[in-house]
């Protein structure tokens, strides 16, 4: 059996390909909505966040031969837990990560390393700030930006009850919440920026599937300053950004050739 950490649309596609290649598999996701997507494709799934110990136990219980980590590029904790769990269970770990896109060159675009840097920079710039980085790190921005003079924080996130509850707890006004599920076209991004009078947009470099380019291009074309948070720098070891190489590595596991288990390699 192959254990696949999933949740994104491209992770779903990869899981389907693995199953179609004849491998029994189990996918894990963190939301019921992602689970429904997997179930709709006929892919076995379980819901819930997993610690390294949980993953190690699951590997032993299910007889897992390899772990394929296709979690979101910014799901740093999930990836670290997957690596640790696979290593403890002595099974191969394969990282699939959607290809990184280079940010278009512009004096209006600023790259930063993390959320804290983004929040500090936004606090210096102020204005109408649209946050498109999700709910998980929302507190980093509300703590720094809410209540600042001449500053309005608008947060765009998935339309989930827990997200709305978090917004209320953190003091984000209802009128400044955009609860929508993407992907968003460039035209829709522009319409949202225009509607709120956005002067600064904050996003993260999540790749083509994450509609990174549409958000950024729309903002830059409108002359809106844009802060882009770079991906976490993690040494994954065996890492690919295409499905074919993941399947090739799984064939080596099936054939009993597992000498590559923890050898750092990269093909992006």
pTM for the model: 0.68
Higher per-residue confidence, 196 vs 105 = 196
* Residue of higher predicted confidence among 184 and 141: 141
pLDDT band at 181 (very low <50, low <70, confident <90, very high): confident
The string of pLDDT tens digits covering residues 117-162 is: 999 999 999 999 999 998 989 999 999 999 999 999 999 999 999 9
Least confident segment among 87-96, 146-155, 204-213, 228-237:
204-213
> Is the model's pLDDT at 261 over the cut of 50?
no
Convert the pLDDT of each residue in 62-94 to its tens digit.
999 999 999 888 888 999 999 999 999 999 999
What is the pLDDT at residue 30? 87
pLDDT at site 268: 35
pLDDT higher for 257 or 21?
A: 21
68 strand-pairing partners: 4, 94
């Amino acid at each position: 059996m192959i254990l696949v950490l999933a949740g994104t649309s491209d992770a779903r596609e990869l899981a389907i390909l693995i199953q179609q290649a004849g491998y029994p598999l189990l996918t894990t996701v963190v939301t019921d909505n992602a689970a429904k997507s997997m179930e709709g494709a006929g892919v076995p799934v379980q819901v819930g966040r997993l610690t390294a110990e949980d993953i190690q136990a699951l590997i032993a219980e299910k007889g897992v031969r390899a772990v394929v980590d296709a979690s979101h590029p910014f799901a740093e904790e999930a990836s670290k837990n997957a690596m640790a769990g696979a290593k403890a269970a002595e099974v191969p770990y394969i990282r699939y990560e959607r290809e990184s896109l280079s940010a278009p060159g512009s004096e209006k675009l600023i790259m930063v390393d993390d959320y804290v840097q983004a929040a500090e920079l936004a606090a210096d710039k102020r204005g109408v700030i649209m946050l498109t980085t999700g709910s998980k790190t929302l507190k980093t921005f509300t703590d720094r930006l809410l209540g600042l003079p001449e500053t309005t924080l608008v947060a765009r996130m998935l339309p989930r009850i827990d997200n709305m509850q978090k917004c209320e707890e953190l003091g984000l006004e209802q009128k400044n919440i955009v609860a929508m599920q993407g992907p968003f076209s460039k035209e829709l991004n522009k319409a949202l920026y225009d509607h709120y009078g956005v002067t600064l947009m904050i996003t993260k470099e999540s790749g083509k599937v994450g509609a990174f380019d549409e958000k950024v291009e729309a903002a830059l074309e409108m002359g809106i300053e844009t802060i882009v948070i770079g991906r976490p720098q993690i040494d994954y070891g065996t890492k690919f950004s295409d499905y074919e190489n993941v399947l090739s590595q799984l064939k080596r596991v099936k054939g009993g050739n597992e000498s590559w288990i923890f050898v750092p390699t990269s093909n992006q």
